[in-house]
Amino acid sequence: MPELPEVETVARQLAPLIESRRILRLEIFDPKLALDAPEAAHGRVICSVRRLGKQVLMDLQDPCGCKPPLWLAVHLRMTGRLIWSTEARQPAPAPPLRARLRLTGGWVLFKDVRRFGTLRLLASTELLEPGGIDPFCGDFSPRTLAERLAGARQPIKPWLLRQDRLAGLGNIYACEALYHARLSPHRPAGSLSPDETARLHRAILKVLSMGIECGGTTFATFENAHGENGTFQRKLAVYGRAGQPCRRCRAPIERTTQQGRGTFYCPNCQSESALPRQSESA
């Protein structure tokens, strides 16, 4: 399930592979993608590939410089993958292939089994982030985190999933961040002390950085631009480890449900009220 580190991994891999290549054709096979005019991308050059929030963003420039700006924004959602291929003969399009970008010297395949992903051509990137701070691109500090948390009565775990507050965390990294910050997922978001807010800020950057270093988490279906898996799943402290011993205190990890999403946590290390007793360790 691509979250910020998975999307960052894909963008970093794609960038050197496709930057400066020209788009010969953008083929849409799944009508659910509903692009108005995919041919607007034809002839343009991909001059940059980067991540914004959980989306992959490509800057498509007109080589003549006379056409207006155009961006290709891909959101992988649950099962989306962007795969680089140089196979001379591409197979006939069939699910899960939803779209294909034919470039000079290769193809970018958009595969997406569950078809939740989106692919859009945009004249501007302004509307991509609905107000959420990107932990690496935006003004993310203990102070700005505290400002956003203020007044929220929602439990902190579902709060972390809100992309209009913080862009990039999904279910896995939200659970992991709360574990490393030693905070109960049930705590009201607005109830965190300055020290707890600072711990959470630090933990968010830590788990996301670790995820990027590992090339993402492959829990179910994530694959990078080469069709390979990430390795962060080996370092998960709580996610998917219900019943297994906490790596810090050996208490069994618990699983509960918040807003229909699984939440994994250590009931001892992340107790509702207790002050943290042990030092943080990997």
Residue 227 makes contact with DNA by CB under 7 A: no
Q: Which is nearer to DNA, 120 or 247 (CB)?
A: 120
Measured CA to CA, the distance from residue 233 to residue 254 in angstroms comes to 18
Answer yes or no: 261 catalytic: yes
Residue 184 makes contact with DNA by CB under 7 A: no
Q: Which of 40, 78, 122, 198 binds DNA (CB under 7 A)?
A: 78
Cα 190 from chain centroid (whole Å):
24
Strands in the chain per DSSP E? 23-28, 45-52, 55-61, 70-75, 80-85, 97-103, 106-112, 118-122, 254-258, 261-265
Residue 138 makes contact with DNA by CB under 7 A: no
Q: Which of 17, 45, 137, 152 binds DNA (CB under 7 A)?
A: 152
Quote the least distance from Cβ 174 to DNA, whole Å. Answer: 7
Measured CA to CA, the distance from residue 99 to residue 96 in angstroms comes to 9
Answer yes or no: 3 catalytic: yes
Asked if residue 72 lies in contact with residue 121, where contact means CB atoms within 8 angstroms, the answer is: yes
Quote the least distance from Cβ 254 to DNA, whole Å. Answer: 13
Q: What angle do CA 244, 270, 152 make, to 5 degrees?
A: 130
Token digits of residue 53: 């929030």
Measured CA to CA, the distance from residue 172 to residue 217 in angstroms comes to 9
Token digits of residue 268: 């001892």
User: CB under 7 A: which stretch of 10-18, 41-49, 147-155, 199-207 binds DNA?
Assistant: 147-155
Residue 161 makes contact with DNA by CB under 7 A: yes
Q: Which of 48, 144, 154, 231 binds DNA (CB under 7 A)?
A: 154
Quote the least distance from Cβ 277 to DNA, whole Å. Answer: 28
Residue 153 makes contact with DNA by CB under 7 A: yes
Q: Which is nearer to DNA, 13 or 171 (CB)?
A: 171
Annotated catalytic sites, by residue?
A: 2-3, 54, 261
